[in-house]
A and B are shown apart, each in its own frame.
Chain A
Amino acid sequence: MLRILPVNKHYVAGMFLLISTSVVYAAGAIEGEVQRQPLNLTAITMFLLFVGATLCITYWAARRTKSTKDFYAAGGSISGLQNGLAIAGDFMSAASFLGISGLVFASGFDGLIYSIGFLVGWPIILFLLAERLRNLGKYTFADAVSYRLKPLPIRSLSACGTLTVVLLYLIAQMVGAGKLIQVLFGLEYYLAVIVVGVLMILYVTFGGMLATTWVQIIKAVLLLFGASFIAVAVMNQVGFSFDNLFSSAINLHEKGLAILSPGGLVSDPVSAISLGLALMFGTAGLPHILMRFFTVPDAREARKSVFYATGFIGYFYILTFIIGFGAIVMLVNNTQFLDPESGGIIGGNNMAAIHLSQAVGGEIFLGFISAVAFATILAVVSGLTLSGASAISHDLYASVIRHGKVQQGEELKVSRVATILLGIAAIFLGIIFEQQNVAYMVGLAFAIAASVNFPILFLSMYWQKLTTKGAFIGGSIGLLTAVTCMLLGPTIWVDILGNANAIFPYKHPALFSITAAFFFIIVISKMDSSDSAKDEAIAFEDQYVRSQTGLGAEGASQH
């Protein structure tokens, strides 16, 4: 995919593309060779404003972050609306903004398939998990699972699942960040990765969940505002008629009428179902998302936060659809944005939303959208890092290594050290993976979340006969199946390792790995006739009452 285009505008000429494999995940990667741009001063000024504001918030949050509850869960003091915005901020990544609008720009209707997949996990989380999770857990989803199961194996497995998901996601984000910032701001790749890493370490180490939450809220508001502005400008251009929008797009797009119908993106049924499962249940197993439910005071606010989050995320995806079609209408015949050599738009399809922002709002708005894209990356990586750090300090250190006998101050110290180490690891991995194809990583993260975290969390809440042995062995099998199928599948075995034929024929392993996890968890639990298995079944009754009534659940801390 090495294709360097001549510079003919001052800010873009690079090429970064993530849709080549048709894997566009919510926080997917931005891929390929890019060419560094001259410094973009408007964008940098706006970004510095954002950084200044968020660092002030971090300073404010740091003074309020004294206990582990403050650090992991913002003291349980976030309201449903705030948490809904923060969830949206955590979930709407730069790649979903640029990637999905780019996908709509390139193939129209198909972009909607992914948007919907990302959204439908949310109602499922609300109906089946959110309030039970809130009532049972404290800081991590492993708290809820180990309520009646043995903490040692369960927390080790959950921490393993969390860290794998977080690291895969972080690498994809860091590489994407480096490339995007190179294109938008004209910073060196490694410098961009270091800036992102250092800022995220500052936010999380000092401000914990409170600062992370506010960074995500501010970013969500900015992104929703920016995307709304572009969409309204597009609709204004076509006289606020969808019929005009779509018919002008058909006339201009080389694929013509085909952009209004399903293309070849999801063709064979097994892949379609497998991808659908990964998107729907993967969202329900993402540790940094699940962690957000402990920041609200009770189950009532937890429910409200999903309602708001679903609204914001759904609205955002509708905007990206309009933006994608708007880009077809406003960019395709505009020589300012066309690359004379390839005939496509400068910088590749993922630049559609960025070019469109310039077409509708000029230089200033282009700078604003570029700064929002940078802020977006920061918000997502901060949430990931906090989630990874709590798996290390709360699940592994405090519970597995020290058996819960640990002072708050000490756990807090460990979580801060873990944050710094994860941040440094993310910077290094981001630099190491610069030239690698990382698009599969977010896909793999979703598959693992759907095949390890989701099954054990779901069954621990809904199935009385679940035992520690079943959850541990079945969950591990789910993890191994997801990783093995991915390694032997078309994405890694063929595209990256260069083998001729894939041993595992499908791109998306979730259908197989989720089935394997549920099957082995259930069979092994049923075969488990140990005394501890009987105790765990009895303890289910207490857990059930607590999960449904909230009696004895963690409340908001007193400030």
Chain B
Amino acid sequence: MQHLYKKIYADPEFHELESKRGRFSWCLAAITIISYFSFILIIAFSPELFAKPISDSTVITWGIPVGLFIIILSFALTGIYVFRANSEFDRLSKDIVDHVKDSAGE
């Protein structure tokens, strides 16, 4: 296995895939972290923003839809990640591994 790891590590296509995948997952992680901590910091520093009703005709305050939005966003982001990782990234990764295995005669 070790020699295959070395060959894959030396393959520029592998690094290209990894930087694409890395950018994608860090970007999604950043969205999650930023939205959650913005939520927490608004509660800590200016809770009155979340206490305003969303319109004149309702009692529902901004905090509730924003909170629900973060729950739904978390779920949606995991869905987006799984969709792309299980199709595009897995396919590219398999291509690289197969290619290296072929050239190594295995």
Contacts and interface: CB of A to CB of B under 8 A. Distances in A.
Interface string B32-55: 110011011101110110110000
A109 interface: yes
Contacts of B77: 123, 127
A276 B39 CA distance: 10
B31 to A, nearest CB: 9
A261 B47 contact: yes
Contact of B41 (A115, A242, A269, A275): A269
A276 B37 contact: yes
B44 A127 contact: no
A124 interface: yes
Contact of B74 (A123, A242, A269, A544): A123
B44 A261 contact: no
A113 B58 CA distance: 22
A250 interface: yes
A243 B37 CA distance: 28
A504 interface: no
A260 B78 contact: no
Given A127-B26, A541-B9, A120 B32 contact: yes
Nearest to B1: A552
Interface in A295-324: 300, 303-304, 306-307, 310-311, 314, 317-318
A131 interface: yes
Given A542-B2, A545-B8, A307 B82 contact: yes
B44 A272 contact: yes
A230 B6 CA distance: 57
A169 interface: no
Contact of A307 (B40, B47, B50, B79): B79
Interface string B68-90: 10111011011101100110001
Nearest to A309: B78
Contacts of A546: 5
Given A113-B40, A242-B60, A247-B59, A122 B85 contact: no
A221 B79 CA distance: 21
A109 B66 CA distance: 11
A116 B14 contact: no
Contacts of A246: 59-60, 64
Contacts of B96: 549
Contacts of A267: 44
A112 interface: yes
A306 B77 CA distance: 11
Contact of A548 (B6, B18, B64, B72): B18
B59 to A, nearest CB: 5
Interface in B91-105: 93, 96-97
Contact of A549 (B8, B37, B82): B8
B8 A304 contact: no
Contacts of B40: 113, 117, 266, 272-273, 275-276
A324 B20 CA distance: 43
Contacts of B85: 131, 303
B68 to A, nearest CB: 7
A194 to B, nearest CB: 38
Nearest to A548: B18
A268 interface: yes
A384 to B, nearest CB: 25
B71 A261 contact: no
A551 B47 CA distance: 49
Given A314-B71, A551-B5, A127 B32 contact: yes
B78 A310 contact: yes
Contacts of B28: 123, 127
A307 B78 CA distance: 5
A38 interface: no
Interface in A70-96: none
Given A116-B39, A552-B1, A261 B74 contact: no
B9 to A, nearest CB: 5
Interface string A481-510: 000000000000000000000000000000
A360 interface: no
A126 B59 contact: no
B64 to A, nearest CB: 7
Nearest to B93: A549
Interface in A302-361: 303-304, 306-307, 310-311, 314, 317-318
A269 B44 CA distance: 5
Interface in A117-135: 117, 119-120, 122-124, 126-128, 131
B71 A126 contact: no
Contacts of B43: 113, 262, 266, 272
A126 B63 contact: no
Interface in A256-303: 257, 260-262, 266-269, 272-273, 275-276, 280, 300, 303
A295 B35 CA distance: 31
A276 B50 CA distance: 18
B94 to A, nearest CB: 8
A244 B47 CA distance: 24
A545 B51 contact: no
Interface string B1-30: 110111011000010001001000110110
A243 B5 contact: no
A552 B81 CA distance: 24
A382 to B, nearest CB: 26
B78 A116 contact: no
A180 to B, nearest CB: 26
18 contacts: A109-B50, A113-B67, A120-B32, A124-B33, A128-B25, A247-B59, A260-B61, A261-B51, A261-B61, A273-B44, A303-B81, A303-B85, A310-B74, A314-B74, A545-B4, A545-B5, A548-B21, A552-B5
| Closest CB pairs A-B (n = 5) | A261-B51, A272-B44, A262-B47, A542-B5, A127-B25
